[in-house]
Amino acid sequence: MTPGLARRRVVRVPASSANLGPGFDVLAAALALHLELEVVETGTFAVVTDLDVPRGRDNLAVKAFERLHPADGFEFRISSDIPLSGGLGSSAAAVVAGLMAADHLFELDADVFALGAELEGHPDNVGAALHGGFVVCNGAQAHRFDAPPGLEAVLVVPDEGPPTEEAREALPATVPIESAVFNISHAAMLTLGLATADWDLISAGLHDRLHQPHRAHLYPRSAELLERAHSVGALGATISGAGPTVLVWSRYDQTGPLVEALKRETAGWARVMRAGFEPQGADVRSL
């Protein structure tokens, strides 16, 4: 490395919520919480962060970076306001950040979405983190569209929850045809409601029979909150990813009172975070 010519990139990636109720492994949305990764060519490898994450080459951002280029000689500085557990796409954000840093530093023109989905195992969080807004994923692609004006998100993040692996293992290997049809119809209603800013369709489309009922025993208070969301002024609520975080859907004119009601409802077991739907996907800057 030549002194004064250090290569440097800063990548900012949003959190994400997958499934959105009926859209299991297909629908996701970006949220206005962010991970920031600064990669600097210092001549030595290091991971610098206050987060409770690995500080070696097993760090997710570093592993993703090294999928495209060795990390030797680079320092990785990581900060984030995305909760590390709870189903808010923290791992997808780290993977996307590492891939994009390497891709831009070395001008590789890599397929970041495909690589991110391969490393993360799920395309929905990766698509939302990469593109922002709402996404519909078919495995090979993520199709983005904007949130309707006035739609807001409130997060209920429990203090404790089961490991993601346990939540995944709770799902049955097969489902009744009636449940599959139910989810297809509700995913279609939700997508149409989002595309046309129809609040009634959005509210009606947030229900699920494929994953949330099977995981309810793992986080009963989160599951109960889904049933009571309307009573506290929300359009509805969904489990974010594998949980236990609850994504509470709100109209802009109801969000203030909703936040206060949720704080009262969840006192002692969860924190309430106002984090809107994020239109901006992952962004890279050179410094």
Is the distance from CB of 126 to CB of 92 less than 8 angstroms? yes
**Omega of the bond prior to 14 within 30 degrees of 0, cis?**
no
Average pLDDT, the chain: 95
pLDDT band at 122 (very low <50, low <70, confident <90, very high): confident
Lowest mean pLDDT among 38-47, 153-162, 202-211: 153-162
Q: What is the pLDDT of residue 287?
A: 65
pLDDT of 278 above 60:
yes
CA distance 136 to 121: 16
Q: What is the pLDDT of residue 5?
A: 61
Q: Are residues 252 and 178 in the same domain?
A: yes
The residues, any chain, with a CB within 8 Å of residue 131's CB and separated by 6 or more, are 30, 142, 144, 281
pLDDT of 193 above 90:
yes
CA distance 136 to 23: 9
Number of H helices, E strands in the chain: 10, 11
Q: Are residues 226 and 265 in the same domain?
A: yes
Residue with tokens 């210092």: 42
Is the distance from CB of 61 to CB of 77 less than 8 angstroms? no
Q: What is the pLDDT of residue 171?
A: 94
Q: What is the pLDDT of residue 139?
A: 76
- Judged on CB neighbours under 10 Å (0-12, 13-18, 19+), 164 is middle
Residue 3 in domain: no
Question: 38: closest CA among 4, 10, 2, 80?
Answer: 10
- Average of pLDDT values for 276-281? 96
Question: 187: closest CA among 171, 172, 167, 202?
Answer: 202
- Average of pLDDT values for 214-235? 96
pLDDT of 67 above 70:
yes
For residue range 92-110, list pLDDT tens digits in order.
999 999 999 999 999 999 9
For residue range 7-58, list pLDDT tens digits in order.
999 999 999 999 999 999 999 999 999 999 999 999 999 999 999 999 999 9
Stated pTM of the model: 0.94
Q: Are residues 122 and 163 in the same domain?
A: no
- Average of pLDDT values for 205-216? 97
| Higher per-residue pLDDT: 3 or 150 | 150
- DSSP label at residue 254: G
Q: Are residues 181 and 126 in the same domain?
A: no
Q: What is the pLDDT of residue 80?
A: 97
Question: 225: closest CA among 199, 258, 198, 184?
Answer: 258
User: How many domains does one find in the chain?
Assistant: 2
Q: Provide the residue type at 192 as one letter.
A: L
Q: Are residues 112 and 202 in the same domain?
A: no
Q: Provide the residue type at 283 as one letter.
A: D
Residue 1 in domain: no
What is the span of the domain harbouring residue 165?
A: 151-274
pLDDT of 119 above 70:
yes
Q: What is the pLDDT of residue 12?
A: 98
Q: Are residues 135 and 162 in the same domain?
A: no
Q: Are residues 193 and 253 in the same domain?
A: yes
Q: Are residues 140 and 29 in the same domain?
A: yes
Residue 2 in domain: no
